[in-house]
Structure 1
């Protein structure tokens, strides 16, 4: 318990500067592979705190790594700082009002995620220095989690080869250890090319790429009845071919996200979707070019690390929200539906608690609900090294992910409180691993047993490179 209290105090010693870091990142929302200002802030903080810094990690200019300590085990703490498009929102209010129309916004809380991870790494660094124990802590600043799969590229580049344990977290409405479930996911582009012509005078001479996209969508919709019930497929039009209805569209492009419970299932669905695209091209006498933008694996759980993290949560207790925090959260809940709130409880397997706008409890580790499964590139790290992830309450119960309400709550005192709490949980788990050699051995054995029959295969083809975006020109 003494070591826990020491590491928690080290977190508190730095909390103000990292709350400020989180707010600065909130104010510069940058989407996948454009996080040049955000990574500069994290790099400056790493240097200020005395970390040895490696920039341009895996050849990605918006990825960074900081290391401190000597010899001993290597503990990685993973952070993120990318935002989402179209979810700009003024902070601290409970009505839809963007800062910038159609602007970016931190609607998944990654401003908090990266700042708390770096705070935890800083506390662990200070603890190593104070105790003189052997060990190294690394902070990995990871861009492009939202669809860009940066961590998968980083794993493929060997960035985690000498890491013993990886720890991370995600802002949430409930405080719990992550259930270790996610869907493998591929983002694949289908670019159809046809032939333009006058849609009235010579329609017979045209070959519509837009028709091909529409036929592909119909085919995929029919396939939904004949795929696993926990698989997911969604799409977005990238290019519909133009705005003139009297022109046969010669070019059209659609992006598909294809998800399945495991990598093998996803790869099988990929091939089926490709066949549908090829059939659509055949029917319309167009051609189709297929390219993978990004891909991630399904997450691999680790029971010993999950148990250790839950013990830290229990020792620390729930996030200590106050009356003002609960009042603002209640105003946010007023913008939600009852189903939004019920859904949050259902996914963790607990009955609805009335008049509880913020999570003032810890979800028991042995209670399982109906998880609503998404995808994350943390999964690829989990195949490379034993990995554990916390979910810590930073926003009102019922708040949907990727919503303006998340952005609105991203600078609130409750968000700061949850962020600091998450840093304590991660830092506590990190020193548990350093102090308890049997815990690390059990975590590694659990990982080896899970990967023995199904070794890791990177879901991104070797010829696919990170879709790095150019640095914005100075104003």
Structure 2
């Protein structure tokens, strides 16, 4: 087969399977379950895999909602990474361009993980079917990865060795654009700082108290001074999760803050976190209080693989743009009307979205959907976000693409993402991603030199260093993360 013939064959299989996978995606959107509590979502995915003949291994890394579906046999082992967790406080009705929660204060798929998991699984199923029909060897796996949002599910799975025999891992993410954009995501550490003081009457007995709130405020001030003296591509941010109560006439005896420390490489993040720890201890000394430092979770920086990304891009070129229609564009325009001009311009600039693309054969310079394919530069960009895909990338060569499930200008973790999560355009986007990933997986099976090149690049970037899990062995996943 030529490459275009390969892509066409895979695409036909995806198109045949897409309707039933769209039903699954919508069901997971309805469940909207939080990190490590995605019981209905995980079982729905497992049932789909079993229907298509995949062997199932459950409770990976002792996580109830983590699983692996496997089909085929022999080498290479190609992994497709899927997610299905939602976000707290983002309940929103689907298919309308007005902020209107289905359940006030409820959950919602504000990062499109109902689509992400569905598209990755569709890629795995389509590729497995192609191998079986053509009597080709190779093991296809779908990894059901829970808790990406604030949970680092893949980090725990990597720590347990779940990816150790994988030859390469592929995934995707919903976005406002179509294409491959190589990124250097940051390592992230999440740490709670809990101060304990002594309560007292704030007026006639303040000298008897030791203020945990004073300690927390001094820590925050100290970290603000630290920002001048840390590398410019690092990030430190926080939330006060317990201010000690609402009574002003009480010396607060307890406070808590959650800090996130990010850096381009894990060792730098660990060093920076140690400096934050010392500031916290200093604040406790100054206020005669105690501080408990509780490591919560972490994810390693992402290692992009240009070889794999170039292969995905080549298949996306052969596929052409996502086949949106006028109704898709019309709904995207309604969504875009709720966004600021600054957000739209920022999206175009950040993702380098070209506007000179075609819809129904006509040039459309102002479409609210990305109707084309962005150029792939063949080099990586700095991205200040973090993802637990980074941990997988240190175990095996890993790459991802993006597909336009959202109107241009849509930001993740917003009601607009949730509103678009069941749209026909979103369904087309996950199918497009599935075609891109499955075709690339087949390329890696049919062309051992491509896989060898990807592994050689990965070895060069890791410099032979083994994977270092950033989460200590005694720490497990926390159910119900926001």
TM-score (normalizing by structure 1): 0.96
User: In the aligned structure 2, how far is the partner of 1:74 from the partner of 1:151?
Assistant: 18
Counterpart of 2:435 in structure 1 is 424
Counterparts of 1:4-403 in structure 2, within 5 Å, are: 4-349=7-352, 354-366=365-377, 372-403=383-414
1:458 aligns with one of 437, 460, 469: 469
Residue pair 2:182, 2:306 contacting (<8 A) in 1 also:
no
User: In the aligned structure 1, how far is the partner of 2:98 from the partner of 2:218?
Assistant: 39
- Could you say what secondary structure the match of 1:259 adopts? strand
Residue pair 2:195, 2:216 contacting (<8 A) in 1 also:
yes
1:363-384: CA deviation from partner (whole Å, max 9, x where unpaired): 1012879754310000110010
User: In the aligned structure 1, how far is the partner of 2:36 from the partner of 2:258?
Assistant: 18
User: In the aligned structure 1, how far is the partner of 2:12 from the partner of 2:42?
Assistant: 27
Counterparts of 1:441-452 in structure 2, within 5 Å, are: 441-452=452-463
- List alignment gaps of at least 5 residues for structure 2: 357-364
- Could you say what secondary structure the match of 2:200 adopts? coil
Q: CA deviation at 1:180?
A: 3.0
1:130-163: CA deviation from partner (whole Å, max 9, x where unpaired): 0111111000000111121110111110001111
User: In the aligned structure 2, how far is the partner of 1:32 from the partner of 1:206?
Assistant: 39
Counterpart of 1:473 in structure 2 is none
- List alignment gaps of at least 5 residues for structure 1: 471-475
Q: CA deviation at 1:14?
A: 1.0
Q: CA deviation at 1:350?
A: 5.0
Runs (4+) of structure 1 exceeding 6 A deviation are 367-370
1:263-311: CA deviation from partner (whole Å, max 9, x where unpaired): 1221111011111111111111111111111111111011211111000
Counterpart of 1:440 in structure 2 is 451
- Which piece of structure 1 moves more, 172-181 or 184-193? 172-181
User: In the aligned structure 2, how far is the partner of 1:232 from the partner of 1:59?
Assistant: 32
User: In the aligned structure 2, how far is the partner of 1:92 from the partner of 1:193?
Assistant: 48
User: In the aligned structure 1, how far is the partner of 2:162 from the partner of 2:187?
Assistant: 21
User: In the aligned structure 2, how far is the partner of 1:388 from the partner of 1:323?
Assistant: 32
- Could you say what secondary structure the match of 2:301 adopts? coil
Q: CA deviation at 1:469?
A: 5.6
1:35-69: CA deviation from partner (whole Å, max 9, x where unpaired): 11211111111112211001101110011110000
User: In the aligned structure 2, how far is the partner of 1:325 from the partner of 1:348?
Assistant: 21
Residue pair 1:81, 1:110 contacting (<8 A) in 2 also:
yes
User: In the aligned structure 2, how far is the partner of 1:160 from the partner of 1:455?
Assistant: 13
User: In the aligned structure 2, how far is the partner of 1:195 from the partner of 1:39?
Assistant: 46
Residue pair 1:191, 1:252 contacting (<8 A) in 2 also:
yes
Q: CA deviation at 1:72?
A: 2.1
1:186-242: CA deviation from partner (whole Å, max 9, x where unpaired): 111111111111222211111111221111111111211222222111111222222
Q: CA deviation at 1:349?
A: 3.6
User: In the aligned structure 2, how far is the partner of 1:40 from the partner of 1:328?
Assistant: 32
Counterpart of 2:361 in structure 1 is none
Q: CA RMSD, aligned part only? A: 1.6
Q: CA deviation at 1:26?
A: 0.6
Structure 1 residues 408 and 231: CA distance shift in structure 2, 3 A: same
Residue pair 1:347, 1:369 contacting (<8 A) in 2 also:
no
| Number of corresponding residues | 470
TM-score (normalizing by structure 2): 0.94
Residue pair 1:348, 1:369 contacting (<8 A) in 2 also:
no
Counterpart of 2:478 in structure 1 is 467
Residue pair 2:199, 2:210 contacting (<8 A) in 1 also:
yes
